[in-house]
């Protein structure tokens, strides 16, 4: 029997932008931790790319929330 997803709510629909930003920030941090633990350059690059995607979402909401726009360089200490 097919599952009816018509009544499903996303985080954005039932939560707040702040909830979304906190989630995206947490996921970016997790991905950066995984990147630091990875032993293969391909895995490091993949985790950094995913983290950057989450940080881009955070940055899109940053002006609305008065937050600084984060970046991978900020998180890793690179200049």
What does the pLDDT read at residue 17?
77
Question: Residue 21 and residue 18: Cα distance in Å, rounded?
Answer: 5
**pTM for the model:** 0.62
Q: What is the pLDDT of residues 11-33, one digit of tens each?
A: 455 567 788 889 999 999 999 99
The residue with greater pLDDT, 31 or 64, is: 31
**Domain segments of the chain: what residues?**
21-63
- Tell me whether residue 5 is exposed, middle or buried, using C-beta atoms within 10 angstroms of its C-beta: 0 to 12, 13 to 18, 19 or more: exposed
């Amino acid at each position: 029997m097919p599952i009816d997803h018509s009544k499903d709510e996303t985080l954005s629909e039932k939560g707040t932008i702040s909830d979304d930003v906190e989630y995206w920030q947490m996921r970016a941090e997790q991905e950066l931790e995984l990147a630091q633990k990875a032993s293969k350059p391909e895995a490091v690059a993949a985790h950094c790319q995913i983290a950057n995607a989450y940080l881009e979402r955070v940055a899109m909401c940053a002006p609305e929330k008065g937050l600084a726009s984060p970046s991978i360089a900020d998180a890793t200490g690179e200049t």
